[in-house]
Amino acid sequence: MHRPLRLSIDRAAIQANWRWLADRAGVAAGAAVKADGYGLGARETTEALIEAGCSDFFVSTWAEAEALGNLPQSVSLVVLHGFGADDTDAATRLPARPCLNSVKQVARWKQLGPGRACDVMIDTGMNRLGLRPTDINALDGLNIDTLHSHLACADEDDPLNEMQLERFRAVASAVPAKRYSLANSAGIGLGRDYSFDLVRPGISIYGGIQRPEFEGNIRQVARVEAQVVQRRIIPDGESCGYGATFVAREDTEAAILNIGYADGYLRGFSSHGSAFAGGYALPVLGRVSMDLIAVGVGAAPGLKEGDWVEIDYDLPWASKQSGLSQYELLTTLGSRFERRWI
């Protein structure tokens, strides 16, 4: 079935981004493939990164772990949300280990029997998931593969970064584990003091640029294209779209494209986004609706029904255009796209 939306995913760019992040960190680099590989495809991303040399992967839930299917025995898979009361079947059946996040999860894991490998998250200031440093006595007797913490403000030069680093160092000196891990994508940009034994990049594998150090080194991964449904003229003085937020100041050539907020092209792009055709920039006119947008095409006289237009989806720039985070831009891309790995 023909689809009027295409999402092209650059496999080589994913691999190159991961290699650059690993090289900058100077230690082993894993990969977050949660949220279906940030919306691009967890299985395909995992296969590409295994080929590149990655052997540590992270998902959010046991359902995501199961959806990945069979992985090589040399690959490590961690469920970041831990071990809940309803997860016993999955945890004993699937080749993944939990990252324990609370004293209650630790106790529950110990009940499954001694010696089972796990990871542990320590809360050093994020106040989201993780045991507090004062709770580390509860970890006695655990077989901890990797002890983690997570940075809250690594995309900025914030005093909390160094505070979390010192707190994690203190806990790491007191809790035995095979490995220690603190840095996410942005944390890699803070320098090798934050690397420890393993880094856990996510968004920057997929083209996200979280810090100035990444500019010119991280490649765009996802390209979004939509077909033209119709070309039309918006007469001088008339409006286009819901709310009549765009009013033509002259007869305006417009193309109506097969994309909208149901596809993840959200309303933050209304009158702010843009597209490209034949090297010409095409501004979004008025509001994004559920299935359609209008773009000005006066600069592209040959554009017609059925032609393809590339949406400006370079993550840093699209984020500035829309006010959306780079994470939202990827993870909201919908199921109506034909996803093509190139």
CATH number at residue 301: 2.40.37.10
CA dist 50 and 56 (Å) reads 9
Domain co-membership, 203 together with 226: no
Domain co-membership, 247 together with 142: no
Domain co-membership, 229 together with 200: no
Domain interval for residue 115:
11-207
Q: Is residue 228 part of a domain?
A: yes
Can you give the pLDDT at residue 135?
97
Q: Is residue 334 part of a domain?
A: yes
Can you give the pLDDT at residue 113?
84
Domain stop point among 140, 173, 207: 207
Catalytic sites, residue numbers: 34, 242
Domain co-membership, 84 together with 151: yes
CATH number at residue 178: 3.20.20.10
Domain stop point among 159, 183, 207: 207
Q: Is residue 4 part of a domain?
A: no
Domain co-membership, 202 together with 288: no
Number of domains in the chain: 2
Domain stop point among 207, 238, 265: 207
Q: Is residue 217 part of a domain?
A: no
Domain co-membership, 162 together with 90: yes
Q: Please list, in sequence order, all residues whose beta carbon lies within 8 angstroms of the beta carbon of residue 91, skipping any fewer than 6 positions away.
A: 62, 79, 83, 98, 112
CA dist 268 and 342 (Å) reads 29
Q: Please list, in sequence order, all residues whose beta carbon lies within 8 angstroms of the beta carbon of residue 232, skipping any fewer than 6 positions away.
A: 254, 255, 256
Q: Is residue 256 part of a domain?
A: yes
Residues of the chain with pLDDT under 50: none
Domain co-membership, 192 together with 245: no
Can you give the pLDDT at residue 316?
96
Domain co-membership, 19 together with 146: yes
Q: Is residue 50 part of a domain?
A: yes
Domain co-membership, 38 together with 88: yes
Domain co-membership, 194 together with 315: no
Domain co-membership, 137 together with 64: yes
Q: pLDDT tens-digit profile of 98-145?
A: 999 999 999 999 999 889 999 999 999 999 999 999 999 999 999 999
Q: pLDDT tens-digit profile of 56-101?
A: 999 999 999 999 999 999 999 999 999 999 999 999 999 999 999 9
Domain co-membership, 27 together with 85: yes
